């Protein structure tokens, strides 16, 4: 499957006002793509477009709530109207709720599902007709390692991410059977230093944080840009996330034990926060940062992803070398 180089693409990014989406938008623009950015926060989108244009890039803002199908559809239509095509759809919109299940209200659970699951579904629905018209393209859906392994306090969030994973697996096979050159990539970040934690609604009594180690947003942007040119089924952003999913695959019971041991207190900071403090579950808040509140402890990059997206051949060569070395040592041990 051969996709256009990024400098010839029109890229739509949902959830671009802050965090991963904003970082990816600026990176796409710097690489020469025409970008259409969307989120609920119109002021944050305007500042993003201004920043991209000052740096010589092309960008257009289309505000939208991803839980509303017609608003998502307008983003895709505007991209084609303005730039004549749509080549890559990047969906990073998401909201968080930190609460035990018995603290969660029905309308809160529903809202998380509407944004995190149905928003992703709506994105693929509106993008696909345009990608098919072009004959090729990429759907890049940013979920979480919780698409494969749930964590405490995240019953709604993890359910929504699991739902996206199942939806993409079905869609991917259908498109392959029909012969479309359309990549469907599930990008699963580990804990990333974005405003997500400070923007989430919390009932923990404290400001939440991600499982350490935490990575900077460029770790995910690297993966997103790679997927826009190189269709890949699944990509984990952050080596710690890869280790977590490997452990889950080998022994779910071991992951249960690790969650019981370290999965509760590790998600709480020492900073008090009430459930009534500002959050973006139902309404946009004034937030346009790329990085969150944990820059002093966030890893600037993931070696796992750096090798995979920048030097994939080097990673394969290193892996082959390790396998060969192991085989040689095994043979020597048997001969002795």
Tens digits of per-residue pLDDT, 149-204? 999 999 999 999 999 999 999 999 999 999 999 999 999 999 999 999 999 999 99
Confidence check: pLDDT of 21 > 80: yes
User: What is the per-residue pLDDT for 301?
Assistant: 78
User: What is the per-residue pLDDT for 303?
Assistant: 74
Q: Residue 292: which of 20, 90, 103 has the closest Cα? A: 20
Eight-state DSSP code of residue 116? I
| Percent of the chain residues topping a pLDDT of 90 | 87
Q: Model-level pTM? A: 0.90
How confident is the model over 271-304, as pLDDT tens digits? 999 999 999 999 999 999 999 999 999 988 777 7
User: What is the per-residue pLDDT for 264?
Assistant: 96
Region 227-238: mean pLDDT is: 96
Task: Compute the Cα dihedral for 102, 105, 110, 111 and give only its sign.
Answer: negative
Contacts of residue 100, defined as CB under 8 A and 6 or more positions apart, other chains included, come to: 152, 153, 155, 203
User: What is the per-residue pLDDT for 232?
Assistant: 95
CATH (residue range 6-301):
3.40.50.720
Region 309-318: mean pLDDT is: 57
What are the extents of the domains in the chain?
Answer: 6-301
How many residues can be counted in the chain? 336
Report whether the peptide linkage leading into residue 213 is cis, meaning its omega lies within 30 degrees of zero.
Answer: yes
pLDDT averaged over the chain? 93
User: What is the per-residue pLDDT for 106?
Assistant: 98
State how far the Cα of 25 lies from the Cα of 36, in Å rounded to an integer.
Answer: 8
User: What is the per-residue pLDDT for 300?
Assistant: 84
Region 20-49: mean pLDDT is: 98
Q: Residue 298: which of 225, 222, 209 has the closest Cα? A: 209
Using DSSP, state whether 185 is helix, strand or coil: strand
State how far the Cα of 197 lies from the Cα of 97, in Å rounded to an integer.
Answer: 9
Question: CA angle, 33 as apex, 35 and 94 as ends, to 5°?
Answer: 40
Question: Residue 332: which pLDDT band, with cuts at 50, 70 and 90?
Answer: low
Question: Residue 325: which pLDDT band, with cuts at 50, 70 and 90?
Answer: low
User: What is the per-residue pLDDT for 311?
Assistant: 54
User: What is the per-residue pLDDT for 125?
Assistant: 98
Confidence check: pLDDT of 98 > 70: yes
User: What is the per-residue pLDDT for 170?
Assistant: 98
State how far the Cα of 171 lies from the Cα of 165, in Å rounded to an integer.
Answer: 10
Chain-centroid distance, C-alpha 166: 16
Strand partners, 201: 97
User: What is the per-residue pLDDT for 305?
Assistant: 76
State how far the Cα of 126 lies from the Cα of 80, in Å rounded to an integer.
Answer: 11
Angle (deg, nearest 10), helices 218-229 and 19-30: 50
> How many Cβ atoms from other residues are within 10 Å of residue 281's Cβ?
18
Region 230-253: mean pLDDT is: 95
Give Rg (Cα) of the chain. 20
How confident is the model over 76-88, as pLDDT tens digits? 999 999 999 999 9
Task: Spot the catalytic one: 157, 215, 226, 311.
Answer: 157
Q: Is 38 in contact with 45 (CB distance < 8 Å)?
A: yes
215 is catalytic: no
User: What is the per-residue pLDDT for 304?
Assistant: 75
State how far the Cα of 66 lies from the Cα of 49, in Å rounded to an integer.
Answer: 19
Contacts of residue 161, defined as CB under 8 A and 6 or more positions apart, other chains included, come to: 116, 143, 144, 146, 147
State how far the Cα of 21 lies from the Cα of 189, in Å rounded to an integer.
Answer: 13
Confidence check: pLDDT of 313 > 60: no
């Amino acid at each position: 499957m051969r996709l256009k180089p990024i400098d010839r693409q029109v890229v739509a990014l949902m959830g671009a006002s802050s965090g991963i989406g904003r970082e990816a938008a600026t990176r796409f623009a710097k690489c020469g793509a025409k970008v259409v950015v969307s989120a609920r926060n119109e002021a944050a989108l305007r500042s993003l477009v201004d920043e991209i244009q000052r740096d010589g890039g092309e960008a257009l803002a289309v505000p939208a709530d991803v839980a509303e199908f017609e608003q998502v559809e307008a983003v895709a239509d505007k991209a084609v109207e303005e730039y004549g095509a749509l080549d890559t759809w990047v969906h990073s919109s998401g909201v968080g709720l930190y609460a035990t299940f018995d603290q969660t209200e029905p309308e809160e659970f529903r809202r998380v599902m509407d944004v995190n699951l149905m928003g992703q579904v709506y994105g693929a629905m509106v993008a696909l007709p345009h990608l098919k018209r072009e004959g090729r393209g990429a759907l890049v859906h940013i979920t979480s390692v919780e698409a494969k392994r749930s964590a405490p306090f995240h019953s709604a969030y993890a359910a929504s991410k699991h739902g996206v994973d199942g939806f993409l697996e079905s869609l991917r096979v259908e498109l392959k059977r029909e012969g479309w050159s359309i990549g469907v990539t599930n990008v699963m970040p580990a804990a990333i230093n974005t405003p997500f934690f400070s923007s989430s609604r919390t009932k923990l009594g404290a400001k939440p944080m991600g499982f350490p180690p935490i990575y900077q947003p460029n770790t995910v942007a690297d993966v997103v840009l790679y997927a826009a040119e190189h269709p890949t089924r699944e990509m984990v952003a952050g080596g710690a996330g890869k280790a977590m999913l490997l452990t889950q695959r080998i022994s779910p019971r071991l992951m249960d034990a690790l969650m019981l041991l370290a999965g509760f207190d590790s998600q709480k900071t020492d900073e008090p926060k009430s459930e009534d403090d500002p959050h973006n579950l139902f309404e946009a808040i004034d937030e346009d940062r790329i990085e969150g509140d944990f820059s002093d402890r966030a890893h600037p990059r993931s070696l796992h992803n750096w090798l995979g997206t920048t030097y994939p051949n080097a990673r394969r060569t290193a892996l082959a070398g390790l396998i060969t070395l192991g085989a040689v040592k095994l043979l020597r041990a048997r001969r002795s």
